[in-house]
């Protein structure tokens, strides 16, 4: 096999872990690949696509702010990516771009690996941005019973309300909500508590009367305030590194066309990346 030319594009892009994750995966699978991080602005997206096609890249990952606009350059869209209105993985086949979204599968696999069931579950989803929509669509596809989305601007969350199982509430009511009492799973899909972000959860009393598992898709720091407060209350709590790793595993399978032991690869990568970023 020729060397796979791969990369990730975004703005900003300096702190991405994708080159490290994909390089470790390629090495582990004995596949020759080059994976770079390219700083691409909104204005530069078209030129980047032309370059990637001209240089016969096998594909690339896409992060903020291009997950939506890259769809205009895709000749084909995976149905799940189309439903999410966002693409995080592009495969280039004979000069044609095919768009996928592996975020939902990434989260689902990470939940499953932690014995958290989505089917028939009652979920509280915090945030209504791009990642939240991917999570919501995947949870609905996986048979969630009910999803209550808490967000700052409910009128913007119209794309969440196309399924009768989804209800949208104002984020400011989260502290008083009784929804958590019946919830099986609480997922944070806001950047609250993320390293480098000033804002964090101020009132976590919604955790007081729940037995839900808590999944924070933020992975830096290793333990956010939400996770610490959840653990203090005896709840099972997980950060988003598993989601990050699994979405990369699925992306690499798309790029390379190879099938391999996805769970085995994810647990290998989790150990490796944990050492690198949490200094363990
Ligand atoms: P996004 O599209 O910008 O959405 C962010 C969401 O959080 C929006 O609903 C936003 O509300 C809400 N929000 C922001 N600040 C808030 C605050 N102070 N209080 C309440 N809500 C607030 O971002 P995204 O792409 O969905 O990413 C969200 C987070 O997930 C980021 O931290 C990202 O790094 C992480 N992420 C992790 C993975 C992983 O693999 N683990 C994958 C994707 C994303 P408004 O719409 O009102 O602004």
> Tell me, what's the pLDDT at 155?
87
Q: Strands 122-126 and 185-188, how do they pair?
A: parallel
Which ligand 1 atom sits nearest the alpha carbon of residue 134?
26
Q: Any catalytic annotation for residue 67?
A: yes
> Tell me, what's the pLDDT at 1?
66
> Tell me, what's the pLDDT at 119?
98
Distance 215 CA to ligand 1 centre (A): 14
Sheet holding 76-77, edge to edge: 33-39, 4-10, 59-62, 89-93, 96-100, 76-77
Give me the tens of pLDDT residue by residue for the chain, a chain 280 residues long: 689 999 999 999 999 999 999 999 999 999 999 999 999 999 999 999 999 999 999 999 999 999 999 999 999 999 999 999 999 999 999 999 999 999 999 999 999 999 999 999 999 999 999 999 999 999 999 999 999 999 999 988 999 988 999 999 999 999 888 999 999 999 999 999 999 999 999 999 999 999 999 999 999 999 999 999 999 999 999 999 999 999 999 999 999 999 999 999 999 999 999 999 998 7
Distance 131 CA to ligand 1 centre (A): 7
Question: From atom 4 of ligand 1, which residue's Cα is the shortest distance away?
Answer: 129
pTM value surpassing 0.85: yes
Distance 122 CA to ligand 1 centre (A): 21
> Tell me, what's the pLDDT at 279?
84
Pocket lined around ligand 1, Cβ cut-off 6 Å: 64, 103, 106, 127-132, 151-153, 156, 171, 189-192, 194, 199, 217-219, 240, 243-244, 247
> Tell me, what's the pLDDT at 231?
98
Distance 190 CA to ligand 1 centre (A): 3
Which of the following is catalytic: 24, 67, 138, 146? 67
Q: What angle do CA 25, 86, 69 make, to 5 degrees?
A: 105
The secondary structure element, H or E, covering residue 277 is helix 262-278
Which ligand 1 atom sits nearest the alpha carbon of residue 190?
7
DSSP labels for 140-204?
HHTT-SEEEEEES-GGG-GGGGGSTTEEEEEGGGGGG-SHHHH-SEEEE-S-TT-TT-S---S--
Cα separation, 51 vs 69, in Å, equals: 17
Cα separation, 186 vs 177, in Å, equals: 13
Question: From atom 7 of ligand 1, which residue's Cα is the shortest distance away?
Answer: 190
Cα separation, 181 vs 192, in Å, equals: 22
């Amino acid at each position: 096999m020729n060397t796979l030319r791969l990369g990730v594009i975004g703005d900003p892009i300096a702190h991405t872990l994708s080159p490290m994750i994909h390089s470790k995966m390629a090495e582990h699978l004995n596949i020759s690949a080059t994976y770079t991080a390219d700083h691409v602005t909104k204005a530069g997206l078209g030129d980047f696509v032309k370059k990637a096609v001209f240089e016969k890249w096998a594909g690339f990952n896409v992060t903020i702010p291009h997950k939506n606009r890259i769809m205009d350059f895709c000749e084909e869209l995976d149905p799940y990516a189309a439903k999410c209105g966002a693409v995080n993985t592009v495969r280039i086949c004979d000069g044609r771009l095919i768009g996928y979204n592996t975020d939902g599968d990434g989260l689902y696999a990470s939940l499953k690996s932690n014995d958290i069931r989505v089917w028939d579950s009652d979920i509280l989803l915090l945030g209504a941005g791009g990642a939240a929509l991917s999570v919501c669509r995947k949870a609905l596809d996986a048979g969630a019973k009910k999803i209550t989305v808490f967000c700052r601007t409910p009128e913007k969350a119209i794309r969440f309300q196309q399924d009768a199982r989804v209800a949208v509430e104002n984020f400011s009511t989260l502290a008083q909500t009784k929804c958590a009492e019946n919830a099986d799973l609480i997922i944070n899909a806001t950047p609250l508590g993320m390293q480098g972000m000033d804002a964090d959860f101020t009132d976590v009393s919604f955790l007081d009367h729940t037995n839900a598992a808590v999944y924070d898709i933020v992975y830096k720091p290793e333990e956010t305030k939400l996770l610490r407060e959840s653990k203090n209350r005896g709840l099972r709590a997980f950060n988003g590194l598993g989601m990050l790793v699994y979405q990369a595993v699925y992306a690499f399978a798309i790029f390379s066309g190879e099938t391999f032991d996805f769970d085995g690869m994810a647990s290998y990568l989790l150990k490796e990346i944990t050492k690198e970023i949490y200094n363990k």
